[in-house]
Amino acid sequence: MTEHSHAHGIRRAIGALAQPNVSLSDAAFIAGFYDQSHMNRAFLRMFGRTPGMQRTLLTATIG
């Protein structure tokens, strides 16, 4: 994925992560990442945190 594709994928992943019934691996697939590890690396590079940490922040903010 290009940097632009990563940014677009991360936006889709964040939407999926806001849904507690969607697993991290499913969120990676929905967002177009090759696998969960690929999504983890992209999140760490962009935000300095994992998708799991992002989900915790999202659910604390939303809930």
39: CATH: 1.10.10
User: Residue 10, exposed/middle/buried by CB under 10 A (0-12, 13-18, 19+)?
Assistant: buried
* pTM attached to this predicted model: 0.81
Q: How many other C-beta atoms are found inside a 10 Å radius of the C-beta of residue 2?
A: 7
Count of domains in the chain? 1
Cα separation, 43 vs 40, in Å, equals: 5
Where in the sequence is the domain holding 57, given as residue range(s)? 3-62
Q: What is the pLDDT of residues 1-45, one digit of tens each?
A: 566 667 888 999 999 999 989 999 999 999 999 999 999 999 999
- What DSSP character marks residue 2? -
